[in-house]
Chain A
């Protein structure tokens, strides 16, 4: 099934891509194992899409190598694609063709006779395959692109921002599909700029900043570090010393009747304990966006925090 006797499904070594003078990717080492889901995170423009397009053989690396199932992603792209399902960052469809026509055309291009799987996935995502693509909403276009990526049960899924435009219910169904995919031995590499989008499905997270891989972490580790913005207002005056000594708190600002800070998940319990000692008027706790977590833990001056 795999090529030259390597266990890794995806194997990038020293992967570098320059567009003219712009360095899009610099020396990226990334491995995705069998049955593993790796979340590929980073702000927009960090090089996530470039990496995925190199793996699809759309873009040729300037240096380093990208191998998929033991084969060179660039030179053996057509062969690699027999085992890979791809979802583009901005999936473009043929406006006049219906979903069903897209499925049929794709099946013929892959040499796949059995379309039941595609119909089944469309059913799960509650997608009407009889409407032309131009009449579909953004979310439904995304669903159709997901159907096309999943319908051949590939060994590897390469998904660029797969759940953007999905409502929570569909996201759940998508996550269930991804879980079944890995349970059957499949692997996936999915990019996102929002941690929340991948945290339920990913086993590991690779964090990309300005073309460099700054961290590869087990999901559990990163989850503990993910920051929450906490904002509390109190009925009575409080003192800063009431909140001293809570491990991991950042940017703590206490005024007479308010508190704001950033807290990793691990610190929330202790923090809430302290808050409970006062009469609360209001409490807000939101997960900070990933960019903030990155900046806090993988600051821009730390190219090699991993």
Chain B
């Protein structure tokens, strides 16, 4: 960080008998967030590399799949339930291919996985490992700890979707997987928000309970249910009214790769994250921290 802050040799200053009391200001805004990201940087880098590799793999398959009508036919033959769940589209266009292969299931699954791990780690994971004491013993309010850790999670997610987005654009150049760059940006924004919603849920459950296993299980179950509601609503009448509640509906019902940003989708997701962040802060402030 800043080696200039440190003297070259430990103990070079003489121990003075009446040393001046250090006046502590507490951390700067964002300090907890940066330190959290620093602790995560290795994991974040591995995730970014892995996701980039995955996109590269999809990109490299594109030239050989593009011209095979059989793939589209194969998809057409899938049961309607599966087609509805995967939001199968025309696989012979770059947009349809990326939508089906990357944005339909794999991308959301991996981004949500990262988000939930990161969100549950923020408070509950560190509390479980007891390293949270190090932070809480400093002049930082619990509200700041929660909010800055959640901010770190959102930044991490942003890094990952940026990596995916850049890899997609690169695949367009290298493998002819031509996608409109602005639409890729919109899709990545929605993907990042989708992850943030479930990550924020993990963070909130973790902040309220201090138990990392619960903080992971709850959003995992909710995500599966939300995915099924969104995917099956077109086929199951009574699910239709629930569909709008699913974060997956805000994520993909308007197909951002085709239609760009959905203002309502973004607003609902941002609102959900904000509400979960408030709940996380309020519950964490009120409870005992395990020691």
Contacts and interface: CB of A to CB of B under 8 A. Distances in A.
B47 to A, nearest CB: 17
Contacts of B130: 88, 90, 92
Interface in A70-104: 77-79, 81-86, 88-94, 96-97, 100-102, 104
A278 interface: no
A117 B35 contact: no
A82 B137 CA distance: 9
B128 to A, nearest CB: 10
Contacts of B135: 109
Contact of B11 (A60, A105, A120): A120
Contacts of B56: none
B27 A111 contact: yes
A49 B134 contact: no
Helix, strand, loop or mixed for chain B's interface?
loop
Nearest to B128: A92
A115 B114 CA distance: 36
B288 A94 contact: no
B26 A123 contact: no
A55 to B, nearest CB: 11
A152 interface: yes
Contacts of A101: 1
A153 interface: yes
A266 B25 CA distance: 50
A81 to B, nearest CB: 4
A184 B198 CA distance: 51
A32 interface: no
Nearest to A108: B31
Nearest to B13: A116
A207 to B, nearest CB: 21
Given A111-B139, A120-B10, A92 B133 contact: yes
Contacts of A97: 39
A119 interface: yes
Contacts of A84: 137
B147 to A, nearest CB: 13
Interface residues of B, number: 46
Contacts of B245: none
B106 interface: no
A267 to B, nearest CB: 40
A79 B26 CA distance: 9
A81 B137 contact: yes
A114 interface: yes
B291 A110 contact: no
B26 to A, nearest CB: 5
A148 interface: yes
B133 A88 contact: yes
Given A59-B289, A81-B139, A96-B42, A110 B26 contact: yes
A171 interface: no
A128 B4 CA distance: 19
A109 B10 contact: no
A92 B22 contact: no
A109 B6 contact: no
A56 interface: yes
Interface in B118-136: 129-131, 133-136
B168 to A, nearest CB: 32
| A49, A79, A81, A114: most-surrounded residue (chain B CB, <10 A) | A81
Given A110-B138, A114-B22, A120-B11, 9 more contacts: A81-B138, A92-B134, A105-B38, A106-B134, A109-B26, A112-B24, A113-B5, A119-B10, A119-B12
Q: Across the A-B interface, give the 6 residue pairs with the lowest CB-CB distance, nearest first.
A: A123-B11, A111-B25, A92-B130, A119-B10, A86-B137, A109-B138
